[in-house]
Amino acid sequence: MLRNGLFSLSLLLLLLPLPAVCGELSLASLEVVNGGTAVLRWTGTTPSFGVVRFNEQVVYLYPDRAGAIALLPIPLDLPAGHYPLQGAIVNERGETTPFSLDLAVTHLERPQERLTLPEEMVTPRDPAVLARISRERAQLDELFGQRGLRLWDDFIRPVSERISSVFGKRRILNGQPRAPHSGTDFRSPAGTPIHAMSTGRVVLNDDLFYTGRTVILDHGEGLFSLYAHLSSSQVKAGELIDSGGVVGKVGSSGRSTGPHLHLTVRLLGVRVDPVLLLEALQAQDS
Ligand SMILES: [Zn+2]
């Protein structure tokens, strides 16, 4: 009887799935708007590997102070709805714990803006200008396709001035609907120092047709920040800038109607709202 009892108990233990990894998986917010960033956090023993699949994209979890973290970009044009997050956490013994979470994406209606600009600025026709634009676009696509090691740590707002134009604003230029605003504009006076939104490596400091004097930082793991319309910048390609380090000064170079900072954030090839990203990560730290 005793033998049978022991046998049943050991069989039961063999059949019960043992927790392979110690920790807890959570989303900073179960609801995210289109254009936002979902923050998936693993709190517990740092896994040796973690991966999540969202919106046909595979995103890796990276070790951090509390365990591991993944940033998931929500495209501006992603329809509202429920999206499954499916993935797995693997511990140092190679044991895998699969997981599945539900992410609700809600629709945030962005304002609309009508602008009148000189026609040559809106629709360039000069072949030399068109060649320059396509060359610069290819250069940026190649840069944003890179996946370096994670450098980002603390996040800060690059300037303290108020927002003058939000990310995703629908724009009508000279009566024609155009691509939504690709970043956030801050109404900072000319000459204001611009601070790196997080630690990153300078991958570009150049004069571009649309964005004028432009600095791009690679924060690693597919996260980039682009600072546009600068009056000047002293940083050099390859240089590592700490979070809060100065990348340049506010100006009005390129296609701009007055001094301001335009900040674009790219995450895994997707443009996301810089302010929502900063809010999501600052909220995580507190
Ligand atoms: Zn802008």
pTM of this prediction? 0.88
Look at domain 112-285 and name its CATH class.
mainly beta
DSSP state of 1: -
CB 260 within 8 A of CB 187: yes
Q: From CA 103, how far away is CA 106, in angstroms rounded?
A: 10
Whole-number Å distance, alpha carbon 264 to ligand 1 midpoint, is 8
Whole-number Å distance, alpha carbon 69 to ligand 1 midpoint, is 29
Are 15-106 and 112-285 in the same CATH fold?
A: no
CB proximity list for 259: less than 8 A, separation 6 or greater: 188, 189, 190, 229, 231, 250, 251, 252
Whole-number Å distance, alpha carbon 9 to ligand 1 midpoint, is 66
Whole-number Å distance, alpha carbon 183 to ligand 1 midpoint, is 6
**What is the CA angle 154-157-163, rounded to 5?**
155
Whole-number Å distance, alpha carbon 96 to ligand 1 midpoint, is 44
Amino acid identity, position 253: S
Question: What is the mean pLDDT, run by run of 10 residues, along the chain of 286 residues?
Answer: 38 44 80 94 87 92 88 96 93 88 94 84 86 96 92 95 96 89 97 98 97 97 97 97 98 94 97 96 61
Q: What is the reported pLDDT for 286?
A: 40
Whole-number Å distance, alpha carbon 214 to ligand 1 midpoint, is 12
Tell me which residues have their CB within 5 A of the ion that is ligand 1.
185, 262
CB 34 within 8 A of CB 77: yes
- Domain covering 15-106: architecture: Sandwich (2.60)
Q: Where are the domains of the chain?
A: 15-106, 112-285
How many other CB atoms are there within 10 angstroms of residue 128's CB atom?
8
Choose among 146, 127, 138: nearest CA to 223.
Answer: 146
CB 40 within 8 A of CB 70: yes
Whole-number Å distance, alpha carbon 163 to ligand 1 midpoint, is 10
Whole-number Å distance, alpha carbon 172 to ligand 1 midpoint, is 14
Q: What is the reported pLDDT for 20?
A: 56
Q: What is the reported pLDDT for 66?
A: 83
How do beta strands 176-178 and 96-106 pair? Answer: unpaired
CA 275 from centroid of its chain's CA atoms: 10
Q: What is the torsional sign of CA 282, 76, 151, 45?
A: positive
CB 213 within 8 A of CB 229: yes
Whole-number Å distance, alpha carbon 181 to ligand 1 midpoint, is 6
Q: From CA 127, how far away is CA 108, in angstroms rounded?
A: 38
Whole-number Å distance, alpha carbon 260 to ligand 1 midpoint, is 8
